[in-house]
């Protein structure tokens, strides 16, 4: 039984509402971010905005910039640096996606052909570099070296996480601990920094800045755990993802680590053939989904995600109740609920 088959309409409705409420709260700011994205990805070299725009304007959820905007709002900020920082965060994220698609030989992204399929790998690498640089230019405009430090550190950690993931690829001996280190680095570090710099722009007290960093990090881990579960779920098509991408690329994610560790000899031989050696036949993906179900690997991956959601919500205890806090609590829930 796939995760999608366990879908729960009532919960899905809550989910949509929650995200909608958050988006409504930051709607005006998000409009400003979208305008800044368009203005700042521009260049006298026409291929740059064409390629960057293909990805960045293809219906991404803007979760990371929303975190920056909401963190600033939660701390009563009313300047404009949070717009620049949210844009910088989205540029860093987009740069990593462009490079990831080259690294993973991906054909599709967000239900459309990956940029590299249209403009080629070289242009995707270089436009990614351009967006990284633009992100740092935007941060420079805020005049805060401390904020620059947080995002420069996050960028370095992301790159380290991606290299770790590359090395763990096809390695079925990857431990759950290593997997968690990888996703904390490649995904959660930017979620944490996104929320942290929003609070920093608002000059929030150190305890509040730290609370938002902790919140962002936990949300990021939950988000990636769910993403990795969704890769083996029929529900993923409705989210613009390609089910089976991780499988085809030999990525060793938590569902696989759990199913492999709990599996009998013939199951381990299966995982070794299809992921360790990359010998895949047409029917193998369906067989993999069945084994993950047999070993309750998706369920347990989602359970771990739920524990991170709880940690994320607990981190916000330092803040008084209010619409921004409610919306951030709901966003944390959304990260897991989208799996159902």
106 scored as a contact of a second copy (CB under 8 A): no
Residue 149 vs 322, nearer CB to a second copy:
149
Q: Which of 98, 312, 152 is nearest to 220 (CA)?
A: 312
Stretch that binds a second copy, among 116-124, 194-202, 221-229, 327-335 (CB under 8 A): 116-124
- At residue 205, what are phi and psi to the nearest 5 degrees? -65, 150
Does the protein bind a second copy through residue 99 (CB under 8 A)?
Answer: yes
Of 43 and 280, the one with the shorter C-beta distance to a second copy is 43
Q: d(Cα 248, Cα 231) in Å, to the nearest integer?
A: 10
Give the H or E element holding residue 72.
helix 63-74
DSSP for 160-180 reads HHHHHHHHHTT-TT--HHHHH
Shortest separation between residue 101's beta carbon and a second copy, angstroms: 11
With CB under 8 A as the contact rule, the residue among 27, 35, 47, 294 that binds a second copy is 47
Q: Which tokens sit at 186? A: 């490649």
Of 227, 215, 239, the closest CA to residue 67 belongs to 215
State the Cα–Cα distance between residues 67 and 216, nearest whole angstrom: 8
End-to-end Cα distance, the chain: 12
108 φ, ψ (degrees, to nearest 5):
-125, 155
Query: CB-side exposure of 340: number of CA atoms within 13 Å?
Result: 21
- Which is closer to a second copy, CB of 154 or CB of 309? 154
Please select the residue that binds a second copy; options are 4, 14, 38, 103, rule is CB under 8 A.
103
How many binding residues for a second copy (CB under 8 A)? Answer: 44
Q: Would you say 68 and 195 are in contact if contact means Cβ atoms under 8 Å apart? A: yes
Closest to a second copy by CB, 129 or 303: 129
Locate 28 and state its tokens: 């005006």
Closest to a second copy by CB, 14 vs 103, is: 103
Least CB distance to a second copy at residue 119 (A): 9
Closest to a second copy by CB, 103 vs 180, is: 103
* Binding to a second copy, residues 121-180 (CB under 8 A): 121-123, 125-130, 132-134, 136-137, 139-140, 143-145, 148-149, 152-153, 155-156, 158-160, 162-164, 166-167
Least CB distance to a second copy at residue 224 (A): 17
Task: Name which of 20 and 160 has its Cβ closer to a second copy.
Answer: 160
Which of these segments, 41-49, 209-217, 265-273, 293-301, binds a second copy (CB under 8 A)? Answer: 41-49
CA separation, residue 262 to residues 109, 129, 291, 338 (Å): 32, 42, 10, 26
SS3 91: helix
Tell me the C-alpha distance between 267 and 112, whole Å: 34
Mapping DSSP to helix (H, G, I), strand (E, B) and coil, where does residue 109 land? strand
Is 117 a binding residue for a second copy by CB under 8 A? The answer is: no
With respect to a second copy, which residue has the nearer C-beta, 141 or 290? 141
Do residues 268 and 302 touch, judged by C-beta distance below 8 A?
no
Which window, 100-108, 192-200, 267-275, 287-295, contacts a second copy (CB under 8 A)?
100-108
What is the smallest separation between the CB atom of 73 and a second copy, expressed in angstroms? 25
Binding site for a second copy (CB under 8 A): 43-45, 47-48, 95-96, 99, 102-104, 121-123, 125-130, 132-134, 136-137, 139-140, 143-145, 148-149, 152-153, 155-156, 158-160, 162-164, 166-167
């Amino acid at each position: 039984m796939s995760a999608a088959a366990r879908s729960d309409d009532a919960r899905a409705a809550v989910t949509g509402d929650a995200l909608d409420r958050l988006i409504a709260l930051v709607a005006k700011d998000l409009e400003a971010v979208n305008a800044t994205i368009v203005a700042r990805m521009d260049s006298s070299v026409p291929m740059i905005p064409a390629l960057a725009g293909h990805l960045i304007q293809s219906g991404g959820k803007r979760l990371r910039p929303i975190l920056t905007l909401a963190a600033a709002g939660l701390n009563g900020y009313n300047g404009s640096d949070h717009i620049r920082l949210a844009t910088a965060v989205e540029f860093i994220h987009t740069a990593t996606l462009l490079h990831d698609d080259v690294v993973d030989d991906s054909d599709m992204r967000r239900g459309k052909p990956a940029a590299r399929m249209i403009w080629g790998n070289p242009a995707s690498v270089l436009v990614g570099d351009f967006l990284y640089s633009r992100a740092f230019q935007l941060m420079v405009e805020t005049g805060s070296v401390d904020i620059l430090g947080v995002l420069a550190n996050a960028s370095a950690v992301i790159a380290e996480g991606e290299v770790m993931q590359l090395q763990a690829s096809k390695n079925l001996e990857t431990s759950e601990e290593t997997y968690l280190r990888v996703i904390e680095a490649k995904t959660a570090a930017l979620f944490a920094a996104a929320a942290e710099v929003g609070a920093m722009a608002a000059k929030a007290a150190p305890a509040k800045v730290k609370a938002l960093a902790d919140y962002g990090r936990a949300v990021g881990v939950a988000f990636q755990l769910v993403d990795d579960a969704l890769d083996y779920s029929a529900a993923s098509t409705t989210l613009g993802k390609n089910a089976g991408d991780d499988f085809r690329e030999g990525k060793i994610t938590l569902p696989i680590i759990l199913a492999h560790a709990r599996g009998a000899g013939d199951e381990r031989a299966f995982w070794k053939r299809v992921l360790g050696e990359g010998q895949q036949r047409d029917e193998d993906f369906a067989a993999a989904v069945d084994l993950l179900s047999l070993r309750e690997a998706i369920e347990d991956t989602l359970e771990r995600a739920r524990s991170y959601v709880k940690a994320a919500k607990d981190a916000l205890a330092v803040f008084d109740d209010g619409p921004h806090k409610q919306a951030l609590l709901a966003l944390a829930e959304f990260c897991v609920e989208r799996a159902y």
